Amino acid sequence: MSMESTPSDRPPRQDDTPNVQVVLRPLATPLSLGFLGLAAAALADSGLLLHWFDPVHNWTMVGLALLVFPVPLQTIGAVIGFLDRDAVAATGLGLLAASWLALGASMFIGSPGQLSPGMGLLLIGAAVALMVPTISAWTSKAVASAVMGLAGLRFGLTGAYEMTGAVDWRLADAAAGLLLFGLAVYAALAFELESTNRATVLPTGRRGRGSVAIGGSFREEVAGLHHEPGVRQQL
């Protein structure tokens, strides 16, 4: 007498794996928004340091401006960076937002012209922290890496001025801020044009994974997606 096997009696096949689908949602690049906030903040702070206007009467207002302009823009950019699965943009813009928040709050609640060694040490720490996204971005987006690196240098100089009050540190800080303003505006324009034209118009220094993101195939872009945070089980 023959016996017919049931599905439960059969050994599982090797390819019996769950059919998991990952939904990708297109999102805009946050770099342009974050870099424009950085440019405006760097210009305002450098103008204060160079005494383009009365620093005593404008100290508190510049502090308020640093709170209400770059901080929200870069916070939004950091959140979008995480949603975009761009760890460099998320980490870099998040650090920039926190640094401007600390500096702006210190100026807003402090006395005009008051310097703080404690704040200076914090900004030097922020400058070191910004080296993490700077180094990471160098292998994919050189222009973004240069902006974050220069921003880190600028915060380091601000920290040195806060700790010492030396005129040389103040002038170096202001000069770095003006250079940062120009580079950040260029980077924001380059990434904005790249996003709207879906092709590189101004050089952004893309290479490696950054180059694949613009000129690679869809298969290349999503390769290894199952190993990324938010998809894999462990972060």
Backbone angles phi, psi at 21, to 5 degrees: -115, 140
Confidence of residue 26 (pLDDT cuts 50, 70, 90): confident
- Cα dihedral 48/50/54/58 (nearest 10): 0
Per-residue pLDDT, 47: 97
Q: Domain limits of the chain?
A: 27-210
The yes-or-no verdict on residue 25 having pLDDT over 90 is no
| Angular region, 90: left φ>0, alpha ψ -120 to 50, beta rest | alpha
Asked which of 30-39, 53-62, 66-75, 210-219 is least confident by mean pLDDT, the reply is 210-219
CA distance 199 to 222: 19
Mean pLDDT over residues 179-186, rounded? 98
- pLDDT for the residue numbered 31: 93
Check: CB of residue 166 under 8 Å from CB of residue 121: no
Q: What integer is the mean pLDDT of 104-115?
A: 93
Q: How confident is the model at residue 136, as a pLDDT?
A: 93
* Distance separating alpha carbons of residues 4 and 96, to the nearest angstrom: 68
- Give residue-wise pLDDT tens across range 125-152: 999 999 999 999 998 899 999 999 999 9
Choice between 77 and 202, residue whose per-residue pLDDT is larger: 77
Say if residue 228's pLDDT is above 60. Answer: yes
- Pairwise pLDDT comparison (23 vs 94), residue with the higher score: 94
Residue with structure tokens 């872009």? Answer: 221
Please state, in angstroms and rounded to a whole number, the distance separating the CA atoms of residues 81 and 90.
4
Average pLDDT over residues 78-89: 90
Please report the pLDDT score of residue 3 as a whole number.
46
Stated pTM of the model? 0.83
- Which pLDDT score is estimated for 233? 60
DSSP secondary structure letter of residue 206: B
Question: Considering the domain 27-210 in this protein, what is its CATH number?
Answer: 1.25.40
pLDDT at 5: 45
Give the phi and the psi of residue 111 in degrees, each rounded to 5: -80, 150
Q: What pLDDT sits at residue 13?
A: 52
Please state, in angstroms and rounded to a whole number, the distance separating the CA atoms of residues 147 and 155: 12
Q: What pLDDT score was predicted for residue 54?
A: 93
